[in-house]
Amino acid sequence: MQSRTIARELALLMLGQTSDRGERSGAAAASKDLSEASLTPLLHQALAGLHQHAREALDRSAENLQGAEQLLLDSELQEGAEAQQAAQLPLVRQHLKDGLTQAELALNRISAVLELPRVLLLADQQEVRSDAIARTRAVLKHREQIDRNLDQVMEGWRLTRLPRIDRDILRLAAADLEVFGTPAAVACNEAIELAHRYSDDQGRRMIHGVLRRLTSAASAS
């Protein structure tokens, strides 16, 4: 993981602790305290959130491994009991496939958790902390314009209809494009990576589509 990738993740967790309503006017944004001192407590909570995410990932990994073990045991029992029933072989194969899928999910989660100590170590570096605070500040300061730009490419939806985590992933990507001048491909890839970690399949598809239209609109203007 690069330092900016970690900063984006921390910024996402920081944004999740802020209010998403009643602060849409320019005057409200201008009057809001966005100093480093006011945003640092959000950063500390974000770091605590990463620790919690690691614990939850390990718990889910254990559950996946237990599920895989049970499915494989079930397939062995069925194979023994149904050796003379060739018609049941597809069911046995499905149990084996499901068991291997669960085991793969568990291993992927464990791999992500093993990466976390390095993430947290880097997150203690001043450059990463400052970058996370700067990205959070940019979204909060420009959220009215960012939300308006995103709404214009939602195609029949409104940004407010999306889950909060998806809204904040899109806002961070928009800030990358509009405030930090990040190349579109990098901003989109980083947003999709965050969606893989924190959203679901539907959210990932929505985020990808919205960002594709947003970058197309920006390049056409």
This model's pTM is above 0.85: no
The CATH number that applies at residue 96 is 1.10.940.10
Task: Look at residues 132, 142, 107 and name the one whose alpha carbon lies nearest to residue 47.
Answer: 132
In terms of pLDDT, which residue wins out, 41 or 99? 41
What is the distance between the alpha carbons of residues 177 and 43, in angstroms, rounded to a whole number?
Answer: 23
Question: Quick one: pLDDT at residue 24?
Answer: 47
In terms of pLDDT, which residue wins out, 162 or 50? 162
Mean local confidence (pLDDT), 62-67 = 68
User: Is 79 within 8 Å of 92 (Cβ atoms)?
Assistant: yes
Mean local confidence (pLDDT), 100-109 = 64
- Residues 119-176 pLDDT 10s: 656 666 888 889 999 999 999 999 999 999 999 999 888 999 999 999 999 999 999 9
Domain total for the chain? 1
CA atoms 190, 30, 16, 136: torsion sign: positive
Res 190 pLDDT > 90: yes
Question: Quick one: pLDDT at residue 25?
Answer: 42
Res 219 pLDDT > 80: no
Domain hosting 147: range is 3-220
What is the distance between the alpha carbons of residues 147 and 131, in angstroms, rounded to a whole number?
Answer: 21
In terms of pLDDT, which residue wins out, 31 or 42? 42
Structure tokens at 59: 């718990």
Task: Look at residues 24, 45, 20 and name the one whose alpha carbon lies nearest to residue 162.
Answer: 20
In terms of pLDDT, which residue wins out, 65 or 87? 65
Res 59 pLDDT > 50: yes
What is the distance between the alpha carbons of residues 188 and 162, in angstroms, rounded to a whole number?
Answer: 18
**Mean pLDDT for the chain overall:** 79
